Amino acid sequence: MNFADRLAAAVVRKGTSLCVGLDPRIDLLPPELVTGLKAGPAGRARAYERFCTALIESVAEEAVAVKPQVAFFEALGGHGLSALDRICAFASEHDLIVIADAKRGDIGSTSQAYAEAWLAPRDGGPPVADAMTVNPYMGGDSLEPFLLACGAGSGLFVLVRTSNPGAADLQEQLLADGRPVWERTAELVAGWGAELIGESRLSSVGAVIGATSPEAVERARELMPHQVLLLPGVGAQGGRAGDLAAAFRDHPAGGLVVAARSVIYAWRERRGDWQQSVRLAAAELRAATPVA
């Protein structure tokens, strides 16, 4: 089934466009998840798995997707990647779309291997993730293996206008015709996804647009009418869910509002059970999103 159609159906069924980032850091985890574990990568991977599976249980009713940040698991080597595989499977079992935040992008056999790692069936089972983030800096040929995976039911989110302050160093630079680089990238994304539009009128090739710039979100919707916009930067980075209505102009699944630290570490500023604090933070953010 077309990825965008699966996502659209899930958004409508659950009534939420919230995507929770899974960004585990050992120094920020609840102490009870770390106590008794051995030092080193194996112990840290176990702590991350405990944390992320508990997060998934806490937000499953409030979110439509989770976005594990692959780097935190890669840093732990094989132990971390094995834990990530189990976390992704656990999220799928809890009716959550899984978006691997891997930001891959290369050419030829290397790009093919990245696509196989995240979006191809694994040992007769499903892929690790439903979709992944990719970097288009090397051009259209670097995305060809990922686009082929989209034809088989996976999804992509292409970096276009990101939420970090340094994004302007390249993305806002002007081309000869006066447009910023990111707008040209948006046009390319619309073209790459044109043949992957489903019955929902959304494409399996989406775009990453930082929620910290509502003006960019509005312009992105104009340039990419069929793209699902992945909208990171809500909460700790200063973005506000209420400013993102343009993403949802044509469809309730036109955007995914992404929050990580403000949800998964909410317990650090609230009293009581840590999982309940996470659940409440997710519910509050869901209520603030344009499609809640």
Residues labelled as active-site residues: 103
**Gyration radius of the chain over CA positions:** 18
Distances (CA, A) of 150 to 9, 88, 95, 129, 177: 17, 19, 20, 12, 32
CB atoms within 10 A of CB 239: 24
At residue 14, what are phi and psi to the nearest 5 degrees?
Answer: -90, -15
Say if residue 276 is exposed, middle or buried (CB neighbours under 10 Å; 0-12, 13-18, 19+). middle
Instruction: Say what the alpha-carbon torsion angle 164, 276, 291, 66 is, to the nearest 10 degrees.
Output: 50
Residues pairing with 227 in the sheet: 203
